Amino acid sequence: MQFSQKQDLFIPKKDKKEMQQKEEKKESKIFFLLLLIIILLGILIGISFAKYQSTVAGKTFASIAKPILEIKKEQSLLLTALAPKASYVFEVRNYQEEELNQVDMEYYIEVISHTDEAIQFSLYRGDTLIPLKNNQTQTIKLGKDEKETHSYRLEITYDKTKGNLGKDINENVEVKIHSIQHAK
């Protein structure tokens, strides 16, 4: 230590003052740098805390749309050689009582039967014939904004010329409605 004091004695006052100013500038630069780092850390911690808070405080409410597809139908029918034609009437609706469907839907109708070729099917919506391909319709749209009722009539005809008059036909015919829900 004495040695450094002796060296201090040989430094002129002007140089000594310049050295002190340089040290003070260096100290002030370090002080401002530390202050800047503390401010940046405070901002980063505040942002990450705010993100954490918003994630924790956030709430989500989800609900599942309730599809309604109601089929109103008649009872069973009987085909005989004396009465070779019968009509089966049914409706497809997008509501049940006052509750309306909440999603757009599509459906198709399928007629399932294991009868022989003597039984023919024709499907009508009103007076319009709906084509059946492999006993199925194309898809039909059913909305959700207002009540809709689609009325159908399935004509079942026994063609005597194609059938065997000597045997009875005891067969069940099933009408299936396949629905597809569309979420938007």
pLDDT in tens, 121-160: 899 998 999 999 988 999 999 888 888 888 999 898 877 7
Higher pLDDT, 79 or 137: 137
Q: What is the largest CA-CA distance in the chain?
A: 139
The domain limits of the chain are 2-57, 70-182
**Tokens at residue 173, please?**
């015919």
What confidence score (pLDDT) does residue 114 get? 76
DSSP 133: B
Q: Report the sign of the C-alpha dihedral through residues 43, 47, 48, 50, in that order.
A: positive
Backbone angles phi, psi at 116, to 5 degrees: -80, 180
What confidence score (pLDDT) does residue 122 get? 92
Pick the CATH number of 70-182 from 2.60.40, 3.30.40, 3.10.450, 2.30.29: 2.60.40
| pLDDT(48) > 60 | yes
Global pTM value: 0.58
User: What distance in Å separates the CA atoms of residue 123 and residue 165, rounded to the nearest whole number?
Assistant: 26
| pLDDT range class, residue 1, cuts 50, 70, 90 | very low
Average pLDDT of the residues in 178-183: 77
What confidence score (pLDDT) does residue 41 get? 81
- DSSP per position, 23-83: HHHHHHHHHHHHHHHHHHHHHHHHHHHHHHHHHHH------------EEEE-------SSS
